[in-house]
Amino acid sequence: MDIRNYLKNNLLYLDGGMGTLLQAKGLKAGELPERWNLTHPEIITEIHKNYYDAGSNVVSTNTFGANILKFDEAELEEIIRCAVVNAKRARNESKSNQPKWIALDIGPTGKMLAPYGELQFESAVEVFKRTVELGVKYGVDLVIIETISDAYETKAALLATKEVTSLPVLVSNAYGENGTLMTGASPKSMVALIEGMGADALGVNCSFGPSILAPICREYLKYASIPVLLKPNAGLPKVINGDTKYDISANQFALECKALVEEGVRVVGGCCGTTPSYIEELTTLTSGLKAKDIVPKNHTLISSYAKAVEIGNNQVTLIGERINPTGKKLLREALKNGDYDYVLKEGVQQEERGAHVLDVNVGIPEIDEKEVLTRVVKELQAVIPLPLQIDTSNPIAMESALRVYNGKALVNSVNGKEESMSAVFPLVKKYGGVVVALTLDENGIPQTAEERVKIAYKIIERAKEYGIDKKDIIVDPLALTISADKSAGVETLKAIEMLTAKGIKTSLGVSNVSFGLPMRDYVNSTFFALAMEKGLSAGIINPNSVEMLKAYYTFSALRGRDENFDKYISFVQNLSNVATTVVAPQKGVNEALDGGTPLMHAIIKGLKESASEEVDRLLKERTPLEIINGEIIPALDIVGNAYERGGVYLPGLLLSADTSKVAFEKIKSVVPQGGADKGIFVIATVKGDIHDIGKNIVKLLLENYGFKVIDLGKDVPPESIVKAVKEHHAPLCGLSALMTTTVPSMEETIKQLRKEAPWCKIVVGGAVMTKEYASKIGADRYCKDAMETVRYAEEITK
């Protein structure tokens, strides 16, 4: 029988714990349980058979950790082959008469994905693919991805499975007691991600007993339109009389599960600590229950690594438009130069100003859009918990960005042209996403609201053919310029009203409407308010514009959407707040202040705003170089000397460095070529090492002193460092390593550099480094801190 069909009308019973049973049978610490498929096939087969006998429809192969990171190719294949053989034998031997299937069990890789670990997303996909290929080859009926506690790794596993096979796939995650995955994802965001990618069922397993998982389960039931799975532990392990045991009995377990089955859980089994008797109790107790119907939900969800944003549902979603190079000279420059810090700053600032989603557009002709868009997405999602709107008309760049995106993205955009739909819809179907549909087609943008709505219908119908639901489409009826056509605003508003009446969600790039007019914010904000009143679900706006935020917060308050006016009040308070400034510890530098200029004073004391104002003032009378060499560097020297003597400590040094960076940026924004250039310094944390706070401080200081720093990041292979040094013909290279275990890769890097780039001086640092150690591995110099590195760099490049 086809399991997908069976699932339509029936409860599906999974099996229970495997690991805990193997431990009881003598599995040793550090021994890999997957090897028991080969060494103890009779034990594995018996456990599977006992589960079938207890009423399980599905048993999972003993392959939780069977992947190419833990086993070599030949052993992996043998393990998976035997695992499937064991399960098949159990199925043949079991006399119970329920329908029976075998699932390939896939657990986490055990490695953290980049950037917080070393496993690249694409490598993770490859690891999972290899396991799935073997499972399929040996004849499993479905795949279960389970116990992964990271959204990104879950995506990698699901994507891999989908790329290998069309077999059904169930996805289950392990939650912490705060109700999120270990890396932060909420149940709602996991529903968005997993359902968006087309899994057959989704849910939660491990960690706790059924009643503690109940709230998470209910979130799944609330948002999911596909079957929900529950596979809890037999409670928590406790030490009783020297023995460690789980604290929920089979009967209690079954009762608690039954309650959740009555609420709508469709797929149920047990995890750690559960045994065949738990499953038997469960199947017996729920045998008379009729499976509750699964009702399709109408939530338009997008997600990030951490949270879901629901579009519509009586809220207006603010999409920050600042990461878009159109008309932004500094962003253009940053994208061209690979200055991702600048992009990140734009992102963080919009988050702080209240954006719910960030639009990401890097469309400039001078760059490789695919590469840059993908990189920007990675950089932003590493630290910003807001979902992203991938904004590009290039399907290759779109696919690459959607692939690495950690969540379910907003996709901007598709339109009514056949060419656009046939390029974009397959991507949305494969990777998941909510897609913005522009109401234009081969004949351009229709004049009237009615005709635009017609195109919207056409797009929605066409999407359905690809299996994309209406809830995953937001229509942008296009704001045109009123100065070109005075009825443009009215038609757009009318279209929003018509679409809203049909239950279709809408989005609008608001700012176009005012093109050509003075004080555009005034026009935009009123238009925005009018559109919200007509039912607009999302606006692409500039969160730095007070006028736009005013319209948004006052509208929400007036429309009764702001409980106790909390949001409005906090918006007003933030408006009047003067930025708090931290004062640097100034011991040891006070004496120098007397003779200093106001800019020096600002840098020494860490006053960013005064530094910026001072530079503005000075630029009117002096050249950038005069300001840098006459004031900024001397001020830094005062702080640096005090740091070296022990009068100023690291926080004070950093604050001054950061303040002078503000001064440099000010100079650069006025005179782009105004910086000093003392030479190129390639810097990296070596392969295997994922800690880089020290390296980042060195980078900051070097930049302050006028060096161009090529920062290769952390976990950098020797070859990449050599390549960068050669490419830039860098006179200096800095390497950092935290632990003894990563020093060998530092040594290897030095060896390769000596051979390939003999001109380059190598300076090393890090927690385990010493002067002796440095010379032993062939470095030119050991520097104990950032200041010493600066001094050395100045000496070399003099």
Partner 1 sequence: MAVSLVKSFLEPPIDVLEILRYAGQKEKTSELDGIITECLEEAKPYLTYKVCYAYLPCEVNGVEVMLGEKKLSSISLSKNLAGCEQAVIFSSTIGIGIDRLIEKYKAIAPLKSLIMHAIGVERIESLANSFCAYIKKELALEGKKIRPRFSAGYGDFKVENQKLFFEYLESTKLLGLTLNDSYLMSPSKSVTAIVGIYDCEGKEQAQGCKACVLKDCEYRR
User: Of the two residues 111 and 462, which places its CB atom closer to partner 1 in the complex?
Assistant: 111
The closest alpha carbon to 765, from 793, 738, 795, 792, belongs to 738
Residue 281 within binding range of partner 1, rule CB under 8 A: no
CB of 320 to partner 1, least distance (A): 16
Please check whether residue 43 is in contact with residue 293, taking contact to mean a CB–CB distance below 8 angstroms.
no
User: Of the two residues 397 and 790, which places its CB atom closer to partner 1 in the complex?
Assistant: 790
Q: What is the 3-state secondary structure (H, E, C) of 399-410?
A: HHHHHHCCCCCE
Among 72, 95, 239, 518, indicate the residue that binds partner 1 (CB under 8 A). Answer: 239
Q: For residues 483 and 103, what is the distance between their CA atoms, to the nearest angstrom?
A: 62
Q: Could you identify the residue written with the tokens 């007036």?
A: 558
Say which amino acid occupies 414.
V
Query: Which tokens is 90 given?
Result: 């159990």
Instruction: Annotate 230-299 with DSSP letters as a single string.
Output: EE--SS-EEEETTEEEESS-HHHHHHHHHHHHHHT--EE---TT--HHHHHHHHHHTTTPPPPPPPPP--
Greatest alpha-carbon span in the chain: 94
User: Of the two residues 512 and 736, which places its CB atom closer to partner 1 in the complex?
Assistant: 736
Residue 330 within binding range of partner 1, rule CB under 8 A: no
List the x/- string, 641-660, binding to partner 1 by CB under 8 A: -----x--xxxx-xx-xx--
Residue 112 within binding range of partner 1, rule CB under 8 A: yes
Contacts of partner 1 in 123-152 (CB under 8 A) = 147, 149-150
Q: For residues 524 and 535, what is the distance between their CA atoms, to the nearest angstrom?
A: 16
- Which among 363-371, 531-539, 578-586, 667-675 is the span making contact with partner 1, rule CB under 8 A? 578-586
Among 221, 323, 584, 702, indicate the residue that binds partner 1 (CB under 8 A). Answer: 584
Among 187, 585, 624, 640, indicate the residue that binds partner 1 (CB under 8 A). Answer: 585
Residue 352 within binding range of partner 1, rule CB under 8 A: no
CB atoms inside a 10 Å sphere around CB 73:
10
Residue 117 within binding range of partner 1, rule CB under 8 A: yes
Residue 276 within binding range of partner 1, rule CB under 8 A: no
CB of 223 to partner 1, least distance (A): 22
User: Of the two residues 260 and 655, which places its CB atom closer to partner 1 in the complex?
Assistant: 655
User: Of the two residues 24 and 295, which places its CB atom closer to partner 1 in the complex?
Assistant: 24
Name 94's Cβ contacts closer than 8 Å, sequence gap at least 6. 49, 52, 53, 100
Please check whether residue 652 is in contact with residue 585, taking contact to mean a CB–CB distance below 8 angstroms.
yes
- Which among 216-224, 431-439, 629-637, 682-690 is the span making contact with partner 1, rule CB under 8 A? 682-690
Contacts of partner 1 in 720-779 (CB under 8 A) = 738-742, 745
Q: CA–CA distance from 518 to each of 327, 511, 545, 665 (Å)? A: 16, 12, 15, 29
User: Of the two residues 310 and 346, which places its CB atom closer to partner 1 in the complex?
Assistant: 346
Query: Which tokens is 295 given?
Result: 């009702």
Contacts of partner 1 in 687-706 (CB under 8 A) = 688-693, 696-697, 700
Residue 582 within binding range of partner 1, rule CB under 8 A: yes
The closest alpha carbon to 685, from 722, 721, 724, belongs to 721
Q: Could you identify the residue written with the tokens 């799935």?
A: 132
User: Of the two residues 185 and 540, which places its CB atom closer to partner 1 in the complex?
Assistant: 185
Q: For residues 480 and 512, what is the distance between their CA atoms, to the nearest angstrom?
A: 6
- Which among 240-248, 358-366, 405-413, 420-428 is the span making contact with partner 1, rule CB under 8 A? 240-248
Residue 795 within binding range of partner 1, rule CB under 8 A: no
Residue 116 within binding range of partner 1, rule CB under 8 A: yes
Q: Which helix (H) or strand (E) holds 488?
A: helix 488-501
Instruction: Annotate 329-375 with DSSP letters as a single string.
Output: HHHHHHHHTT-HHHHHHHHHHHHHTT-SEEEE----TTS-HHHHHHH
Contacts of partner 1 in 165-194 (CB under 8 A) = 174, 176-178, 181-184
Please check whether residue 351 is in contact with residue 388, taking contact to mean a CB–CB distance below 8 angstroms.
no
Residue 599 within binding range of partner 1, rule CB under 8 A: no
CB of 348 to partner 1, least distance (A): 6
Label residues 776-787 b or e (16+ Cβ within 10 Å = b).
Answer: ebebbbbbebbb
Residue 578 within binding range of partner 1, rule CB under 8 A: no
Residue 323 within binding range of partner 1, rule CB under 8 A: no
Contacts of partner 1 in 24-43 (CB under 8 A) = 27-31
Contacts of partner 1 in 517-576 (CB under 8 A) = none
CB of 336 to partner 1, least distance (A): 18
Contacts of partner 1 in 471-510 (CB under 8 A) = none
